[in-house]
Chains A and B, each alone.
Chain A
Amino acid sequence: MANHACKTAVCEESHETNVAIEVKDLVTHYGERAILNKVSLSISEGEIRVIMGGSGSGKSTLMRHILGLNRATSGTIRVLGNDITGASQREMYALRKQIGVSFQGGALLSSISTIENVLLPLREHTQLDEETIKIMARMKLEMVNMGGSEALMPSELSGGMAKRAALARALITDPKLLFFDEPSAGLDPVVSAELDELILRLRDALHMTIVVVTHELESAFKIADRITVLDQGVILMTGTVDEIRNSDNSDIQNMIHRRPRKTPANTGDYLQRLTARK
């Protein structure tokens, strides 16, 4: 059951009994470069967790690992009770039926209509009647304020509409676990605020665990139960909105107040990159 009122340290303890995602000591490399370095986090069922960080911080890579799209160098990842670090393709296929993903670019199929895109996962993964499937798809389009747009082709959608259609598709199976990659990027403030409200209502009504990858501070502070801040492949901090706001970590305060960094974070690494020497 959802534990969504938890924004206190007391609630944090009860979270631990119903863990939706657990990452332990995750290390991953692109070539010789470490992208994630000993990353550990635990996300509870019914929690909205926002993962923040600048470009190249590793947040999208972390999401891809949790989805089983990338293989780690070392470490373990458990998702909905399943250890996915050694999972077979078949095991991942079964697990992904319980997961909805809204990718940053939308990733709609251009040759079929909006509603056909939205209902595709139901046709693929269920034996539901066609009429039920179409009603469900229209309900999801209504939820994202795209009622009446079902016949439009992806090429006829604005950027914001394509993003919302992708969200409707991610929601179509009422997944236990929902991932949003940059849900507000490129959206006008009103639509962005509506999406924030929708995320909160989805969690409350359908008891979803929701992971949002973003660097939109206003949105993060509105929806998050807890925020994990990544920087250059390591977790700077995980905490409630208030804990993040009041953090004395200078990198987190720079992020909150949009201040540029004064020096490279690791001068040794920086020198190595400039000289291309080990």
Chain B
Amino acid sequence: MKFSTRSEGAYQLIALSGEIDLHHSPQLREEILKTLKAKQNLLIELSAVEYIDSSGIASMIEGLQLANSSKLKFALVNASQAVMQVLQLARLDTIFPIYPSLEAALSQDS
């Protein structure tokens, strides 16, 4: 897994790529929780994710729950087919806010 972070409007954006499994998800979880605890809205960009297992999804669920309880915004952007299949398998595709592009996510605030 590789990731980079940057600011996008009112959000902090984490862009993920590669494979996210049991070995990488603790790092992802730490980054998500760190951002939300700093009271920043969060977008996670997933277009270059080739594989994600349920530990990676669990880290994002924990982030969504924390964002909701902290009244922060949390959304997924550009989810690759690999990510969508796992979200659908766990029936989470209707639980996460998911946007087809960064522009679509940012325009929700305008």
Contact = CB atoms under 8 A, between A and B. Distances in A.
Nearest to B57: A139
Contact of A128 (B26, B51, B91): B26
Interface string B72-110: 000000000000011011111000000000000000000
A219 to B, nearest CB: 19
B22 A206 contact: no
A206 B55 contact: no
B89 A126 contact: no
Contacts of A131: 62
Nearest to B86: A205
Contact of A206 (B58, B89, B92): B89
Residues of A contacting B: mostly: helix
Interface residues of B, number: 21
A136 B88 contact: no
Contacts, number: 54
B22 A128 contact: yes
A188 interface: no
Nearest to B30: A129
29 contacts: A126-B55, A127-B26, A128-B22, A128-B26, A128-B55, A129-B29, A132-B26, A132-B58, A132-B62, A135-B58, A136-B54, A136-B55, A139-B54, A139-B61, A139-B92, A140-B54, A142-B91, A143-B89, A173-B22, A174-B21, A174-B53, A174-B55, A201-B85, A201-B89, A204-B85, A205-B85, A205-B88, A206-B89, A207-B51
